[in-house]
Amino acid sequence: MITQVDIVGAPNKVIASQNTIIETTHLCREFGQGDTLVKALTDANIIIERGEFTAIIGPSGSGKSTLLQLIGGLDNPSSGDVFLDNKNINHMTGTELSDFRRDHIGFIFQAYNLIPVLSARENIEYIMLLQGVPAAERNKRVDRLMHAVGLEGLGDRRPAELSGGQQQRVAVARAMVSKPSIILADEPTANLDSKTGADLLDMMKELNEKQNMTFVFSTHDPKIMERAKRIIRLVDGCIVDDERRS
Ligand SMILES: Nc1ncnc2c1ncn2[C@@H]1O[C@H](COP(=O)(O)OP(=O)(O)OP(=O)(O)O)[C@@H](O)[C@H]1O
């Protein structure tokens, strides 16, 4: 049961459920003004429990990416709050937020944001260097993930020498390598052939089930929708449906 103390604008939640990992309260994002005003997200109130496997669906332009960007602290809301692990991320300093993101969130976004001068292997390894993970453990985790996403033999290539789908796989491996508690993924299978997409989803589901990692996807992909335990549907920036499946 969720015991929620709703203090909008408070630095931290007094206590939501121990199991709540993501909470948004009255979250709104507008772009532009006057005649060009776009209400990308309106009054989104969402509670996501640790270990959920959630798909955010809706037509193009309905606000899915906007919601993920706000949850990940990559964009600022026009109003409302985002709490991760009961901490209000909108009240963190820039350094606190970037440390928090590094240690708790893995991002898989459409623009892969790979570092162009680093090889695929180094891109995947990079965050663990920042976290001070020892070399032997880094190598073990990179090898395992490169195998899992089908990138064996391509570790020395830079992003420009990889196809879009291969870059996507590097981005997926990079997001998962530091075992973050939350993975935010914007259309993670969009550029993958159906077998690679299905394999990746199986790997994510395994991490979700074995390590209780929380996944939030935006997607049009029926394969993700089939596997999701919860589906939140957006239309014109508003949540119109929130369905949990057993
Ligand atoms: N930086 C921006 N400036 C102005 N408008 C924006 C900006 N980012 C998003 N929007 C608008 O906000 C609305 C929601 O966009 P968003 O990208 O969140 O939709 P989406 O559901 O993720 O779409 P898609 O499925 O096509 O990726 C759209 O009308 C979009 O044009």
Residue 104 lies in a domain: yes
Residue 158 lies in a domain: no
Q: Measured in angstroms, how far is the CA atom of residue 62 from the centroid of ligand 1?
A: 7
Which residues does ligand 1 sit against, CB inside 6 Å? 31-32, 38, 40, 58, 60-66, 218
Q: What is the CATH number of the domain that holds 187?
A: 3.40.50.300
Residue 5 lies in a domain: no
Contact yes or no for 111/122 (Cβ under 8 A): no
Q: Look up the domain containing 76 and give its range.
A: 20-115+180-244
Residue 224 lies in a domain: yes
Residue 130 lies in a domain: no
In total, how many domains does the chain have?
1
Task: Identify the helix (H) or strand (E) that includes residue 190.
Answer: none
Q: Measured in angstroms, how far is the CA atom of residue 133 from the centroid of ligand 1?
A: 37
Residue 198 burial by CB count (10 A; 0-12/13-18/19+): exposed, middle or buried?
Answer: middle
Residue 1 lies in a domain: no
- Longest CA–CA span in the chain (Å) reads 57
Ligand 1 atom with the smallest distance to the CA of 66 is 18
pTM: 0.86
200-246 residue pLDDT tens: 788 788 888 888 889 999 998 888 888 899 999 999 999 999 999 87
Question: What's the complex ipTM?
Answer: 0.98
Residue 81 lies in a domain: yes
Residue 74 lies in a domain: yes
C-alpha to C-alpha distance for 169 and 24, rounded to whole angstroms: 29
97-145 residue pLDDT tens: 988 888 889 988 866 689 999 999 999 999 899 889 999 999 999 998 8
